[in-house]
A = this chain, B = another copy of it.
């Protein structure tokens, strides 16, 4: 199997750095790693898109001036992509002009920092954005009606009792817990668990749903994953 989305045992946050200046890029990557983030690097817009095909970062830092395209264009592309469009983006550039800031923010960036940027401030802002996008889940804990998942510990408790799941089942349940009561189509599930450019039968999703249901059944909560014929599945109490 080709697992494109690696989920390290300790679930760290993935940060993608898009910056053509190697010195700055490496420095940022270093600082971020030291803070416990997993970093991915890209030196151009195309490299960035390439990375995005393989990883779904939790946040992206983008330099305004890239060799092959403007950072703003990259943001546009990201915001148009169904799978990752929600990712927080911090724009980091040398342009201090007010008009540029406004433009960057209006065009889809969530934050705008001018170089030379303080690493501490960048870090703080990254954390602030992650705090939100992860749903105040800096603790890495997800919960829904008695199902408690500690993503970091890779552990699931149902009504206090521990539940063991395989990696795929775990990711699947996590996806459900992140979108409770929302309908998830097969396509969506595939994209988020196997990555976009993988060739996996959609029917495979069924099988994993089945397996997850079996696991939940031991705790009487197998009915919580509902099938919506022709569309997908959803987690409901």
Contacts and interface: CB of A to CB of B under 8 A. Distances in A.
A181 interface: yes
Contact of A229 (B129, B166, B228): B166
Nearest to A151: B183
A92 to B, nearest CB: 15
A234 B85 CA distance: 27
Interface residues of A, number: 39
A121 B101 contact: yes
Given A85-B4, A98-B120, A230-B167, A128 B105 contact: yes
Interface in A115-155: 118, 120-121, 123-125, 127-129, 132, 135, 152-155
A152 B111 contact: no
Contact of A154 (B85, B106, B112, B183): B183
Contact of A231 (B99, B102, B167, B228): B167
Contact of A110 (B109, B132, B230): B132
Chain A at the B interface: SS class = mixed
A209 B73 CA distance: 46
A33 interface: no
A124 B152 contact: no
A217 interface: no
A95 interface: no
A208 interface: no
A219 interface: no
A223 interface: no
Given A182-B152, A229-B167, A105 B124 contact: yes
Contact of A102 (B4, B102, B120, B129): B120
B182 A153 contact: yes
A128 B154 contact: no
Interface in A220-237: 228-231, 234, 236
B127 A105 contact: yes
Nearest to A129: B110
A68 B213 CA distance: 55
A110 to B, nearest CB: 6
